[in-house]
Amino acid sequence: MKAVIMAGGQGTRLRPLTSDQPKPMIPIANVPCMEHIVNLLKSHGINDVIVTLQFMPEEIRDYFGNGSDRGMNISYSVEDVPAGTAGSVKLAEEHLAGERALVISGDALTDCDLTRVLDFHGQKKAEATMVLKSVENPLDFGIVITEEDGRISRFLEKPAWGQVFSDTVNTGIYVLEPSVLGEIPAEGEYDFSKELFPKLLEAGRPLYGFVTEDYWEDIGTLEQYMSAQRDVLDGKMSTARPPGTRLRENVYVGRRAQVDDEELEGPVVIGENVRVDEGASISPYCVIADNVVVGAGASVERSVIAEGTYVGEGAELIDTLVGRHSYIQERARILERSALGDDVIIGEGATIAPDVKIFPHKTVESGANVTQSLIYETMGLRTVFKGGVVSGKFNVDLTPEFTIRLASSFGTELDPGSIVTLGRDSSRSAQVAKRAMTSALLGTGVNVRDLRAAHAGVVRHDVLAGKSVAGAHIRAGEDPDDLEVLFFSSGATPMSEAGQRAIEKVFVREEYRRAHGADIGDLIYPGRAVEQYVERLERATDREKTSGATLVVDFSGGVAGLVASGVFSRLGVNAVVMEGFTNANVAGGGRLSDPGQHFTQALDRVGRIVPTVGASFGAVVGPTGEDVQFVDDEGEFVPPDLMLACFLSRMRPRKAVLPINLSHRYGQLVEDAGGTLEGSRTGLNNVAIKAAEMRADIAGLADGRYVFPSFLPAPDCFMTLAIALELFREEPLSRVRDRLGEDFGNVRRRQLDCPWAAKGRVMRGLAEKFGGDPDAILTDGVKLNVDNGWVLMLPDPDNPLFYVYAEQESDNPAENGSTSSEDLVSEYARVVENLINGE
């Protein structure tokens, strides 16, 4: 006795789930549909199986193999051209060797008692037996009517309601004698229901129907697919047990799953390596496949999520299907009966309306409201770089494969034999990504100086010292699941936009340079990179002013803390270094449920200790080793915008560079001290590059990141701390801040949603409206000087957003004719909103 599993169907009505996989491989309760059928055959002692294939045959062949690991013998018959249901079995006839055959679909779900069917077939001495099932809606099936002894007297394929004379339908399960296969022509399409069985019936051959009471569900539509999932969870199919440990009735959890199982209410299936963060909700009738992450605050109701998908914080999924390796970003909403294919990205805050289908490899922009299915269209193209940095979720956006492509593109843009410096923080994700980058760069013929675990400043210094022509630093983001890759040019400045576009061009075209033999790059492990960084830092600072000073600092568990003792020792600083909070930058560190809360606690701890030890000030350094937040000598937190003013006031720079969206009061500070202020495009990379070009004394963004180009053309915590010690030992920081006041500037900001398609129209409209103003600045958005103030209208380069900044010199109505900064930003926000709306 042998079985033939028909597994050649494409499942067009199940798209987008079947766009990139054959229908028999779609999972039911985390098990491929066909695997349920294979298990059913084995349970009835049928171990010799022939599988007929057509669409994506390797997917099935690779999964099941020859069946030896299951104690079965599985062979395959592949249709080169469509042969029909009966024709496909005819092609497999050579494997049957003249034996009776049980034919069953690989894309329907059943626990039919096959032993009883075979006994019935033998008792009736039938040539062909069809397994029948009573269904509520028979319109999509072949209807069959039988006599009292089970002999088939009539059937009709997919009738109209007026032709429905029975509710028993053809399940596609047949028992066939070898003589029946002889009636099927060897070539051309030939179907069981349309051609073979009518021929047998007309000839009076013994054709019987066996009516089963067991479970059977044809998975032909997305609705039937979801129904089958629920049926398995409810235990209606006796032979289907979801994988994983059964914790209690209808609650199954896979190995290494990170989930509060006490909060799970069945029926529910959680796959292996799933992570459900605190505050996320998984409702009954959910099936979560392996390697899925559900972020904090996300809600998943009655939904099926396929392998490798990432659901962002606060996202909402209701009665929906999500394909493999998709990325549902923060606060996105996917509503009832929607279906996403594989590798779909749903942007932050986007909404997918009910009954919408998103086909594979599509990107839905942030904030979009999708009300129609996306089949051929792509909502938006993502660039590789955002804000000059390549960032995303590790193993979701930044997979090892992606990182290899990125590094191959980077290496291709460099001359063969060039040297690149690589460094990373202590997170495991960065370690994986750097190894991938290293191998890819070597493969393009580029040599790599591997600094291993080192903060970004050490990598930048290695490039600036002429050890390499470029560099990259890989680190975890603010969210431990995030990963960032920073690229540095030959001067250790952030990579220019032209350089970024060049890498993206190679990335998209996949036109990588390949090195062979002796041209493959060398891997170098330099011995004194950190020491050389510290030596340069010592030369760039005034040791007489820092020696003997005391400060309190918390490095937030970041990798910069690894070199802190060496730095402070060389500068003669008495540093009280506190143990930072556990962060992804610490090897083996845990997740932070609320990084902001930990940061506030660190500031409080530092602030309490500063007056006790008589420190000049205290600081909390961010995990990246770039941003520094200060508390003064009295232990009070100094907001970063005010701290920038304190630096400018005490430093009295000859030349400073600040982005054009900051308060005009910074310029007054610089000019009152006899210096000049250069305005820069917004964004850290733009500020740092211009500061290096202008040889500025200081640059910053009023967010805790300060650039001192005389040392490095980028923020570095140790240089920031050293300069602060030089400035605030003579005049305490508390006194400087008191002189400047608690609030610095009156800048107000308004954020507006702006679809990608509207951005060009808005910018054109602003240029037409204000371009004639001789004082208008059009280098980054549109900046206008108005009475006693200014306005900046600026598109976000990486998101479908538009910003409006405005500031009056004073918010005193008596001085501004009753116009405040808030009034000003509201006035021009309406201008931008009208352009967004096409008015």
For 356-420, the three-class secondary structure string (H helix, E strand, C coil) is CEECCCCEECCCCEECCCECCCCCCCCCCCECCEEEEEECCCECHHHHHHHHHHHHHCCCCCCEE
Provide the CA 627 distance to its chain's centre, in angstroms.
Answer: 25
Residue 664 parent element (H or E): helix 664-672
Could you give the 3-state DSSP secondary structure of residue 466? coil
The answer to whether the predicted template modeling score (pTM) of the entire model surpasses 0.85 is: no
The pLDDT of residue 723 is: 96
Could you tell me which residues are beta bridge partners of residue 808?
Answer: 789
Are residues 715 and 725 in contact, defined by beta-carbon separation less than 8 angstroms? no
Could you tell me which residues are beta bridge partners of residue 707?
Answer: 699, 715
Q: Token pair for residue 124?
A: 């009736």
Cα→Cα distances 278→14, 270, 328, 776, Å: 33, 15, 18, 49
Q: Token pair for residue 835?
A: 């352009």
The pLDDT of residue 450 is: 97
Residue 463: burial class (beta carbons within 10 Å; 0-12, 13-18, 19+): buried
The pLDDT of residue 138 is: 57
Cα→Cα distances 294→38, 258, 282, 305, 578, Å: 32, 10, 9, 10, 33
pLDDT by 10-residue block (mean), the chain, 839 residues: 85 82 88 91 91 86 88 87 82 81 90 92 90 72 76 67 57 89 82 84 88 87 88 86 86 90 86 91 93 92 93 94 92 93 90 90 84 64 75 87 94 96 94 97 97 93 95 90 93 90 84 93 93 93 91 92 90 87 39 62 94 96 93 96 96 96 94 95 92 95 95 95 94 94 87 82 84 81 89 87 90 58 93 89
Could you tell me which residues are beta bridge partners of residue 305?
Answer: 288, 322
Could you give the 3-state DSSP secondary structure of residue 703? coil
Angle, alpha carbons 712-717-722 (nearest 5°): 85
| Calpha distance 161→258 (Å, rounded) | 51
Could you give the 3-state DSSP secondary structure of residue 694? helix
**Hunting for tokens 């392998």 — which residue is that?**
307
Q: Number of C-alpha atoms within 13 angstroms, CB side, residue 783?
A: 18
Residue 59 parent element (H or E): helix 57-64
The pLDDT of residue 583 is: 40
| Calpha distance 642→636 (Å, rounded) | 12
Which amino acid belongs to residue 817?
A: G
DSSP 641-652: HHHHHHHHHHH-
Q: Token pair for residue 549?
A: 């000073």
Are residues 127 and 206 in contact, defined by beta-carbon separation less than 8 angstroms? yes
Total H helices, total E strands in the chain: 24, 52
The pairing of strands 168-176 and 128-134 is: antiparallel
Q: Token pair for residue 813?
A: 């109505």
Are residues 111 and 238 in contact, defined by beta-carbon separation less than 8 angstroms? yes
Could you tell me which residues are beta bridge partners of residue 784?
Answer: 791
**Hunting for tokens 């001067």 — which residue is that?**
491
